[in-house]
């Protein structure tokens, strides 16, 4: 099973991001670029990090009518990202359109990952605000199955959910899991946290690690620790 550590580059500017990446002189970590950095710096930040030799997960969580998502995905595919995502909430039709948009003329495409229910959504809010009355775990698995049906590669979920997602959607269906903290580290605003070693045991394919690496005194050492625990034996 393939596994890698993705560093969440949750910085507000190009300068901060490059200063951080400059610390990595030996390895080229897989990095996640989210809305904050992308909206601040535009597509050039993606090209620049790509030119430096990093793999990129562009975390923009698209959700719109199928035609719009298809066209937007075609643009992201030309940016040559390695992984991107959307909201499964946009329906199977939207996810199928996204795959069409993302697929390059030579048949290759970045990995496409679905967000099921955001972890900020509680059962109570889902019922009250969205009028969805099924149990939250059932909704998450249903959305994951929809993503699989549409031909997507996987979902973003907690490492604690990796097992049930693989059971429902197959071992090759990828789980990308945030909420990772080193043993003895500060959980911050994450509620349910897992160590890299535990995420590996639970079957995660990619862990997304932000502050435990970006906020570490020695980010390179922290990254190496995550790789040693999660990727290597
Ligand atoms: O700093 P930290 O390790 O908490 O960063 C985790 C990253 O994963 C952040 O970019 C955060 O937005 C993202 N994420 C998350 N929980 C989700 C989905 C995404 O923490 N359910």
**Rounded average pLDDT over 8-17:** 96
By annotation, the residues acting in catalysis are 61
Query: Structural domain of residue 126, as residue ranges?
Result: 4-230
Residue 1: is its pLDDT beyond 80?
Answer: no
Q: Supply the pLDDT for residue 5.
A: 98
- The verdict on the CB of residue 156 being under 6 Å from ligand 1 is yes
Ligand 1 pocket residue status of 10, Cβ below 6 Å: yes
- Percent with pLDDT over 90 in the chain: 92
* Residue 151: CATH number of its domain: 3.20.20.70
Distant-in-sequence, close-in-space partners of 127: CB < 8 Å, separation ≥ 6: 133
- pLDDT, residue 233, reads 65
Which tens digits make up the pLDDT trace of 92-107? 999 999 999 999 999 9
Q: Which atom of ligand 1 is nearest to the CA of 180?
A: 3
18: confidence class by pLDDT, cuts 50, 70, 90: very high
Ligand 1 in reach of 33 Cβ (< 6 A): no
Gap from CA of 57 to ligand 1 centroid (Å) = 13
Report the alpha-carbon distance of residue 37 to residue 11 in Å, rounded: 6
Q: Tell me, in angstroms, the distance from the centre of ligand 1 to residue 179's CA.
A: 6
* Ligand 1 center from residue 219 Cα (angstroms): 17
Task: Indicate if the pLDDT at residue 209 is higher than 70.
Answer: yes
Q: What is the CB-side half-sphere exposure of residue 9 using CA atoms within 13 A?
A: 28
How many domains is the chain partitioned into structurally? 1
pLDDT tens digits for range 139-161: 999 999 999 999 999 999 999 99
CA of 168 to the centre of ligand 1 (A): 24
Q: Give, using CA atoms, the residue closest to atom 11 of ligand 1.
A: 178
């Amino acid at each position: 099973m393939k596994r890698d550590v993705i560093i969440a580059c949750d910085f507000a500017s190009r300068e901060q991001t490059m200063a951080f990446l400059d610390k990595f002189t030996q390895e080229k970590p897989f990095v996640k670029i989210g809305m904050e950095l992308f909206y601040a710096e535009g597509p050039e930040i993606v090209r620049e990090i790509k030119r430096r030799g990093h793999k990129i997960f562009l975390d923009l969580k698209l959700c719109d009518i199928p035609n719009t998502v298809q066209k937007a995905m075609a643009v992201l595919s030309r940016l040559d990202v390695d992984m991107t995502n959307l909201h499964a909430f946009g329906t199977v039709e939207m996810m199928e359109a996204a795959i069409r948009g993302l697929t390059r003329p030579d048949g290759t495409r970045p990995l496409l990952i679905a967000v099921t229910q955001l972890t900020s959504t509680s059962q109570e809010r889902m019922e009250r605000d969205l009028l969805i009355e099924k149990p939250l775990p059932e909704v998450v698995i249903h959305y994951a199955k929809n993503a699989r049906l549409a031909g997507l590669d996987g979902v973003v979920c907690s490492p604690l959910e990796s097992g049930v997602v693989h059971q429902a959607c197959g071992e090759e269906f990828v789980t990308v899991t945030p909420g990772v903290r080193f043993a003895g580290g500060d959980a911050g605003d994450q509620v349910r946290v897992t160590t890299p070693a535990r995420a590996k045991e639970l079957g995660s394919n990619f862990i997304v690690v932000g502050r435990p690496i970006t906020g570490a005194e020695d980010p390179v050492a922290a990254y190496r620790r995550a790789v040693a625990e999660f990727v290597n034996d």
